[in-house]
Structure 1
Amino acid sequence: MNKFNSIIAIALLAVTFTACKKDNEEPVIVVPPSDGSTLTLSGKTAESNYANVVYVDFSSDKQATADRKSFNIGLTSDGKFRVVLNASYQTTAVATSKSDINAVTLAAPGTTVNLNHDITDPLTNSLVDYWDGDITKTAFAEVSATDAENKVYLLSFEGSKDKDKWFKIKITRNGSGYKVQYARLGETTIKSLDVVKNSDYNLVFVSLENNKVVQAEPVKTGWDISWSYSTYNSGLGSPYWFQDYVSINNLGTITAAKVSTATKTYAAFTETDIANITFSSSRDVIGSTWRTSPSQAGTGGGVKTDVFYVIKDSAGNVYKLKFNSYISGDGGERGKPVIEYKLIKKG
């Protein structure tokens, strides 16, 4: 075989191999986003009307639930080292004056702040993460690369309001992850957890009560809004424990806007109207604005029919969203709100 024929043979072999390789590859299937649906959220269990946090992904018509008491803190998985409190578990926290966790005791807690806050005192908003979801406005300072700069914190939550049930907790960096040291305030045996970041998720969650890392949220691209019991603004600037609170996935780049039906009705709102609204990344864009509360006797209340919402997901899909019912006052059931959404622009 001469040199020319050898080159042709090698070329034909390469083409044949490439063709075979392509034939054997699995086809890439792109699932189009949902055109819209109506969902009844599963927030209610036999235990209570607000036992779960419910996460909703519009593009896949899916919801996922997590026990709202299944974790105490979340740790960011991005390039920062931030700590967030479980807002659905009445969680409060405060920094002590000490960086040695063994030096923080029931007799000398390192702070005089009472974690059982006074709702009439606006200064107690420092005990919670701010409700707009700004990751820089959290009760915990960012975890420093210098261990000695990281203070010990005291942490309380629903059912642990007595001081001897509070946790003392110190969080430091551990390579690209975290080390979490903690114990009840009256205990001397310190537990420890090494926590690895996971870039598929906004947060990695830790249960101090069960000494383990838990999965609470879906992957960061797998949910748009959540419904839950949560910490919110009392109206006095202080924290208040609130049922039926709706958050957007602001850490997952979701944005949203509220629209008045006086401007445009839900049915009439289309893609051409998107240019006239301003999207926000605030976690509480929806918050409590979608419904009215029942009376102290538990009567009345209902979804607001004069507002709806526009949501832009992480893939650029835009949905309009309205709430149909959530309580007996509007024909619904507490703990099982009904939402309706429609795709108006494909990403």
Structure 2
Amino acid sequence: MKNFITILFVFIVMIPVSCIHEDDTPVKIPPTESAVLSPEVGGPAEQNQIWIQLSAQPANAMKSTPREAWDLGFYSGEDFRVILNSSLVMAVGKIKNAYNIDEVNAQTIGDMMNWVQVGNFQDNSQYVDNPNGEILTQTSGIAPIEANDNFNNVYLLNMGYKAYTGNTVPGSIYSIGEERGWKKIRILRTTGGYKIQYADLDQTTHQEFTITKDAEYNYQFFSIVKGALANIQPKKNSWDLCFTVFTNTILNPTNNLLTSYIFPDFVVTNTLGNVVAYEVTTAPGQGEAAYSRFKLQDVDATKFVLHEQRTIGSNWRTTTGSNGVEVYSNKFYVVKNSDGFYFKLRFLRMKNNEGYRGYPQFEYKAL
């Protein structure tokens, strides 16, 4: 009887212990209430890309990476897509009927180098990524990487421009430096990732590198110059905005066709991470007051712009204002991050006290 009571006691004691377990559901941490950030893009040359997480503590809200640290981004989702580093003004063109990279050279590509360009006001939007950021449906840039290697062409890659390193003057911007030259590339699928073949245009041999997808990130980034992976974007749900130089498209009035063009002082939203935004425009002189009054109940979810990473873009500033280069004081933005938190955001400056561009500052507040 004594043994039975002892066993029963142990059993009763163990029941709650064995039934207790941790809840593995991620906890959504409420964001910092408000802050003012000054992304260090690097002054007039804007040599850095700054990745912003609005929900983080201000001291940890920004990650800086050099624009020249990467060349191509390899999508980590189910599809097999590859993007260019638009901040370096890169462009790419498919070489017809070319599948052996070692047989391609400057003689076999004809006049392609005259066309695979950015900012030459030609019909060149096909040679850059769709600037709206919809990588999965774009028909420009690098085509989807096919499972059958025989369908993956060699491409001519315009490596764009280095960051500028010379003298600067107040009010001007210096988005590009020396030309980075040309490469030829061919990209194939592998199990769980990609294989890139790359070489200088006239080389008869090539190098290869295998890139494995990582589902925690939008892309895996690769530097052709260094022949190595590059740590660029934070995890896909750990950033909201990026300050960068950007290759956009504009309408060429001479032929009514889209042409690629270089935009400094640009802000993209992390649409692949389900971040969305919309713009609020007020009457002149009412921007600061309207921003201060704006509350969570004022958010209009129907205004969020979907499938578009340029909602903020260059719309927050002007180069032809009454004071020259300046921010729009009658605009602010509403941002919803991947965790469903809402923020209001207002730009305060784009120049420093000496008038040099490349010194943005903005304030934001969780709603």
User: What TM-score do you get using the length of structure 1 for normalisation?
Assistant: 0.87
Q: Equivalent residues in 2 for 1:1-347 (5 A)?
A: 5=5, 8-15=8-15, 17-18=17-18, 31-44=29-42, 49-60=45-56, 61=58, 62-97=61-96, 98-109=98-109, 112=112, 114=114, 115-117=116-118, 119-121=120-122, 123-135=123-135, 136-137=137-138, 138-159=140-161, 165-236=181-252, 237-262=258-283, 265-275=290-300, 277-281=302-306, 282-293=308-319, 300-327=324-351, 333-344=356-367
Change (3 A) 1:17 1:117: closer
Deviations 1:169-195 (A, max 9, x none): 111111111001110111122110000
Cα distance in 2 for partners of 1:162, 1:267 equals 44
- Verify the 8 A CA contact 1:325 1:332 in the aligned structure 2: no
Distance 1:339 1:163 in 2: 32
Q: Matches of 1:162 and 1:112 in 2, distance apart? A: 20
Q: RCO (CA 8 Å, sep 6+): is it higher in 1 or 2?
A: 2
Q: Which SS does the other structure have where 1:102 is aligned?
A: helix
Instruction: Please state how far the C-alpha of 1:279 moved relative to its aligned partner.
Output: 0.6
Q: Deviations over 1:147-179 (max 9, x none)?
A: 111111111123489999311111111111100
Cα distance between partner residues in 2 of 1:257 and 1:134: 17
In 2, the alpha carbon distance for the partners of 1:140 and 1:106 equals 20
The count of aligned residue pairs is: 334
5+ residue gaps in structure 2? 163-176, 253-257
Asked whether the 8 Å contact 1:93–1:127 carries over to 2, the reply is: yes
Q: Which runs of 4+ in 1 moved over 6 A?
A: 160-164
Give, as a single letter, the amino acid of the residue that structure 2 aligns with 1:153.
Y
2-side partners of 1:185 and 1:163: how far apart? 15
CA distance in 1, matches of 2:119, 2:273: 33
SS of 1:266 mapped into structure 2: helix
- Taking only aligned residues, the RMSD between alpha carbons, in angstroms, comes to 3.0
Letter in 2 for 1:337: P
Give 3-state SS (helix, strand or coil) of 2:299's partner: helix
Identity over aligned pairs, percent? 29
Unmatched tracts of structure 1, length 5 or more:
none
Between the aligned partners of 1:194 and 1:111, the Cα distance in structure 2 is: 31
Measure, in 2, the Cα distance between the counterparts of 1:158 and 1:86: 9
Name the SS of the counterpart of 2:132 in structure 1. Answer: coil
Q: Equivalents in 2 of 1:187, 1:174: separation in Å?
A: 24
Q: How much does 1:108 deviate? A: 0.8
> Which secondary structure does the structure 2 equivalent of 1:167 belong to?
strand
Letter in structure 2 aligned against 1:272: Q
SS at match of 1:323: strand
TM-score (norm 2): 0.83
